[in-house]
Copies of this chain bind each other. A is one copy, B any other.
Amino acid sequence: MAGRTDSRPTMDDIAAAAGVSQMTVSRVMRGTGQTSQEVRQRVESAARKLGYVPNRLATALRDETAPLIAVVLPTLGNRVFSEVLNGVHATLAGTGLQPVFGVTEYSVDQEETLVRDLLSWRPRGIILPGLEHSDATRAAIRASGVRVAEVMDIDGEPISVAFGLSQSAAGRATARHMLSKGYRRFGYIGSQGGLDLRAVKRFDGFRATIREAGAQIVAERVLPGASSMTDGRRETAAMLSAQDPPDAIYYSNDDLAAGGIMHCLAEGIAIPAQVALAGFNGLAFLEALPVRLTTIETPRLQMGVQAALHLIGQDKDDADTSAPRIVDLGFRLIDGDTC
């Protein structure tokens, strides 16, 4: 009905309908500058009548940046990252900024492609998981000048600012706790075939502490792909049915550990008398289990919130000139009933 070609109405169309210049429409729409009451009403009613929807692409092109925050996630199949994303989203709500996201499936190569892709939208900022990125990724980010925040991990050198926790320290804390309870023969069940670098760091810390204490890791199983409670149950069953099974199992996350609990409940295996268990994350659903899992609580929502706040916060120059910075959001060991 309106529009020069046949597409959606533009400010020109509204201007024509309201009998004013296009610039006046722009001013009314943004509520900037001085506009007379009367003109304003004419414009607004014309806009409503024509069903005007602003074209942000034009504004963003003009501004040389889009009101977007790019979010890179390892996967969508893990609640942990939904929670981070949720923190970002909630923080952005009402700021006029939209989150755009992409998923790497834990691949550094995919991250590289994805980051280039996301940067082509000229976002205001970008959030990356972890501190390990390819040189090309770092270069692209630096060249683009976007603001960056890294989340989850703080063991390493951030591009700009990292909001997270020491994965290595979390692994060590878990090991110390289990050692203090007298366990000496440990098993480990992980996932993502070693691609989850945070899990690797945790296990490295765990293993080092175990060895320093003269105890040992007698069984180790890393699943190739994603992990679930069902996997945890199956792998626990397998590990405990082997010869000389461990007397304590460390899992790379709560889902796997909860599967271990389920196995024990179903088979009548006493926890922690026959086998002790520990997880990682402190997910909410653990509270509902009949047995309270010993685990590490992580600030998932907070990592998203802080990263988003950082990106929308201080002025840009500040960020550019300041040296890489680490914000340790910490973790808390939840001393449950499983070890």
Chain A residues packing against B (C-beta within 8 Å): 5, 7-8, 51, 53-58, 60-61, 64, 66, 76-77, 79, 82, 85-86, 89, 93, 98-103, 116-122, 139-140, 143-145, 228-230, 232-233, 255, 258-259, 262, 265-266, 284-285, 287-290
* Closest CB pairs A-B (n = 8): A229-B288, A51-B143, A266-B290, A76-B86, A57-B61, A230-B288, A56-B120, A229-B285
Inter-chain contact B120/A54, CB cutoff 8 Å = yes
Could you name 28 residue pairs across A and B whose Cβ atoms are closer than 8 Å? A7-B64, A7-B145, A8-B122, A8-B143, A51-B139, A53-B116, A53-B144, A56-B121, A57-B57, A57-B122, A61-B61, A76-B85, A77-B82, A79-B79, A82-B82, A98-B102, A99-B101, A229-B284, A229-B288, A230-B284, A230-B287, A230-B288, A258-B288, A262-B288, A262-B289, A262-B290, A265-B265, A266-B290
Known interface pairs A103-B89, A262-B288; A8-B55 also in contact (CB < 8 Å) = no
Complex Cα distance A217/B97, Å?
A: 46
Tell me the bound Cα distance from A117 to B58 in angstroms: 14
Question: Which residues from B are CB-within-8-Å of A5?
Answer: 64
Find chain B residues with CB under 8 A from A230 CB.
284-285, 287-288
Given contacts A5-B64, A8-B143, A228-B288, list 5 more A-B pairs with CB under 8 A.
Answer: A53-B116, A53-B120, A77-B86, A229-B284, A230-B288
A75 — nearest CB in chain B belongs to which residue? B86
- Shortest CB-to-CB span from A68 to chain B, Å, is 8
A259 partner residues in chain B, CB cutoff 8 A: 288
Q: How many copies does the complex hold?
A: 2
CB-defined contacts of A89 to chain B, threshold 8 Å: 76, 103
Tell me, in angstroms, the Cα distance from A22 to B180 when the chains sit together.
Answer: 68
Find chain B residues with CB under 8 A from A103 CB. Answer: 89, 93
Name which residue of chain B comes closest to A86, CB basis.
B76
> Do residues A117 and B140 form an inter-chain contact, with CB atoms below 8 A?
no
Contact B233 A288 (CB under 8 A): yes
Which chain B positions have C-beta within 8 A of A258? 288
Is the Cβ of A66 less than 8 Å from the Cβ of B61?
no
The answer on a CB contact under 8 Å between A119 and B53 is: yes
Query: How many Å lie between the Cα of A76 and that of B82 in the bound state?
Result: 7
A79 to B5, CA, bound (A): 43
* Distance between A9 CB and nearest chain B CB, rounded to angstroms: 8
| Bound Cα distance A53, B123 (Å) | 12
Contact pick for A8, options B99, B102, B145, CB 8 Å: B145
A255 to B283, CA, bound (A): 13
Residue of B nearest to A121 (CB): B56
Q: With a CB–CB cut-off of 8 A, which chain B residues contact A290?
A: 262, 265-266
How long is the Cα–Cα vector from A288 to B256 in the complex, in angstroms?
10
Q: What residues of chain B lie closer than 8 Å to A120, measured between beta carbons?
A: 53-56
